[in-house]
Amino acid sequence: METIKLGVLYVHLLTVCFALAAVLTADRRLWHWRHRPLDEQRRRYLERTTRQVVQLLVLLWGTGLMLVLLGYSKQGAHYLANPKLWAKFSVVLVLSANGWLLHRLAFPVLSLRLPLIGLPLPERMTVGALGAVSMISWLFAGLLGIAREWNYREPFARIMGLYLLLLILAIGGALAMLALAEAGLLSRPERPNRLLR
């Protein structure tokens, strides 16, 4: 049983790592492309990355539920009394809902023939806020995966309060960066001769 749990845990952690790498790389590229509309190759990259992250999110749910079943089979109801477990469940739930919103609201807007900073203010704010929620949620899910010291110690409200604070800071930071970019106060790092970076 322990070998099975170790294998599932390993796949679970690798899933978070691969998803984080994909999300952070896509965020960096989108930021570099903020002054230009997405061409066909960039849209294909975004669609490919989106499919990959959705598959990783499904795998995260599957391995996470397997770990819960294995933990419950060994420890019973005591395993479910861990506030960090429910915080992790809540964060992944936010990730899933935010992913759906990204598909419904952000990606169609990014497919328009407008640069990110050329979008109307409501659409630009939507893209920035959803992107920030995605990044912080993946990072926080990874943190919860390794924060063993929080098991049965940290209350649910404190963990989620920290998560909420990080979300507010990230959304505020993303919107501020977009405003600075629109005002021309940030440099334009993209090189014309490079399509994907």
- For the stretch 132-158, pLDDT in tens is 999 999 999 999 999 999 999 999 999
Is residue 195 a part of any domain in this protein? Answer: no
Identify the CA nearest to 180 among candidates 38, 35, 36: 35
Cα–Cα distance for residue pair 11/9, rounded to 1 Å: 5
Is residue 192 a part of any domain in this protein? Answer: no
Is residue 189 a part of any domain in this protein? Answer: no
Is residue 197 a part of any domain in this protein? Answer: no
Residue 49 neighbours by CB under 8 Å, 6+ apart = 22, 25, 26
Is residue 87 a part of any domain in this protein? Answer: yes
The pLDDT value given to residue 117: 85
Backbone angles phi, psi at 3, to 5 degrees: -65, -40
The pLDDT value given to residue 126: 94
The pLDDT value given to residue 197: 53
Cα–Cα distance for residue pair 93/147, rounded to 1 Å: 19
DSSP string, 149-168: GGTTTS-HHHHHHHHHHHHH
pTM of the complete model: 0.87
Is residue 161 a part of any domain in this protein? Answer: yes
Number of domains composing the chain: 1
Tell the burial category of 137 from Cβ atoms under 10 Å away from its Cβ (0-12, 13-18, 19+).
Answer: buried
Is residue 188 a part of any domain in this protein? Answer: no
The pLDDT value given to residue 110: 83
Is residue 130 a part of any domain in this protein? Answer: yes
What distance separates the 2 farthest-apart alpha carbons in the chain?
A: 59
Domain that holds residue 98: 2-182
The pLDDT value given to residue 193: 45
Going from the C-alpha of 50 to that of each of 11, 43, 119, the distances in angstroms are: 20, 10, 21
Q: Which residues of the chain have pLDDT under 70?
A: 187-197
